[in-house]
Amino acid sequence: MKISLFNIANFRVDGGAMFGVVPKVLWSRVCSSDENNLIVLTLRSLIVETDGHLILVDTGWGDKQDEKFFRHVHLHNGEGLITGLQKRGYEPENITDVFLTHLHADHCGGAVKLNKKGNGYELVFPNAVYHVSRTHWEWAIKNNLREADSFLEENILPIEQSGRLNLVDEECELFPGFFVRMCFGHTPGLMIPVIQYNGKTLVYTGDLIPTIAHIPLIWNMSYDIESLKTIDEKEQLLKESLEGNYILVFQHDEKVECCTVEMTPKGIRAKEKFGFSDII
């Protein structure tokens, strides 16, 4: 197996929304915000080569929406989706599998682009199978007021229309060494990849534990649909991570790519922090 991690782009989001009920006096000690209370998040994608598959995990925001939309997102820095792949020797045509943890716009937008005529949409990875959990797909196409700004038709429907959608029914080993864990607190059917690599267990924590600051059980995003489920799911994963010495890989943490965990008097917390390049 060959794996790599790269940051598509940074974006900004309201710090209060990222930390839910945690007061700013507490979260501001570990995460800085600007004059509009915005904090910086990354959009790290994982590339996994295994058993003839070239798998891309999540695709960032993409570029289909208008200038007004992206004004609120504040994209900056990062390698870009396509250039990040190319820097590692891959073209979009080479990707055999796009694994979407869920269909919120910052995770799946880069999978679909405007066609050349600008009158319709096409897939960015034309030869790939697109994996989404069945629970989440059915939830997303129904949509709901709480997540309406995150589930965008133009990000979702073209995938189904292409005939390249694979719905994942349950937790499984989707590819050799690439396991899927299902979560329901952030949004129903969020898929978390757990990867066995060189005797290590890597967990791409996605929106379950978006940054290292979200390891404490009640430090959760107000975007979560069911906070109590998020707490249970984090608790279970963190316990296993402690026992199995798992490496957590953060999608959204501006500063920290990976960490291990340890037990402290306050509960499970980060132990060693390191870069992804230290484990490959």
Q: Give me the least distance between CB of 246 and Zn ion, in Å please.
A: 21
Contact 206, 101 (CB under 8 A): yes
Spatial neighbors of 242 by CB under 8 A, at least 6 apart, are: 261, 262, 263, 268
Q: Tell the smallest beta-carbon distance from residue 57 to Zn ion (Å).
A: 14
| Residue appearing with tokens 């979407």 | 100
Show the site string, 99-138: x = touches Zn ion by CB under 5 A, - = not: -----x----------------------------------
**CB of residue 273 to Zn ion, shortest distance in Å:** 23
| Residues from 195 through 234 that contact Zn ion (CB under 5 A) | 207
Which tokens belong to 224? 């979560």
272 membership: H or E segment, kind and range? strand 267-274
Q: For Zn ion, how many residues bind (rule: CB under 5 A)?
A: 2
Beta bridge partners, 7, equal: 44
Q: Dihedral of CA 84/88/91/94: which sign? A: negative
Nearer to Zn ion, 64 or 102 (CB): 102
Whether the Cβ atoms of residue 87 and residue 6 lie closer than 8 Å to each other: yes
Q: Which is nearer to Zn ion, 121 or 223 (CB)?
A: 223
Indicate the residue whose CB is closest to Zn ion: 104
Which CB sits closer to Zn ion, 92 or 109? Answer: 109
Our CB check for Zn ion shows the closer of 53 and 104 to be 104
